[in-house]
């Protein structure tokens, strides 16, 4: 059996009524039922082993790079890191950001 890629403790329980996919906010996290949840902040991500954030520029550029997590304030939400950076190739603002989870090697 494989372990989940993202630790379950990183998620909170959702609040409110489920939101259909076509009406969800792009920078807001949702649980499996479609209810909004608070996105993970950098302090919580570091506590769960994240050391960098992957930023991906949208098409047509698709440039991808990893940024050290300690460059940003710990209270910043992971999706909001994209608001503070731009692509070094095309100069476009607001790349998509996600935490880079550490792989767990089998003992």
Tokens of 89: 């190739």
Domain of residue 47 covers 40-101
> How many domains does the chain contain in total?
1
Q: Is 15 inside a domain boundary? A: no
Q: Is 10 inside a domain boundary? A: no
pLDDT single digits (tens) 33-62 = 878 888 889 999 999 999 999 999 999 999
pLDDT single digits (tens) 81-98 = 999 999 999 999 989 999
State the chain's mean pLDDT as an integer.
82
The answer, yes or no, to whether residue 4 has pLDDT greater than 50, is: no
Q: Is 14 inside a domain boundary? A: no
């Amino acid at each position: 059996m494989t372990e989940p890629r993202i630790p379950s403790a990183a998620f909170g329980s959702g609040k409110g009524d489920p939101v259909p996919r076509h009406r969800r906010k792009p920078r807001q996290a949702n649980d499996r039922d479609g209810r909004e949840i608070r996105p993970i902040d950098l302090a919580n991500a570091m506590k769960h082993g994240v050391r960098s954030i992957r930023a991906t520029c949208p098409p047509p550029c698709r440039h991808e790079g990893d940024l050290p997590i300690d460059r940003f304030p710990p209270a910043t939400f992971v999706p909001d890191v994209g608001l503070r950076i731009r692509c070094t190739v095309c100069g476009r603002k607001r790349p998509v950001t996600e935490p880079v989870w550490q792989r767990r090697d089998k003992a």
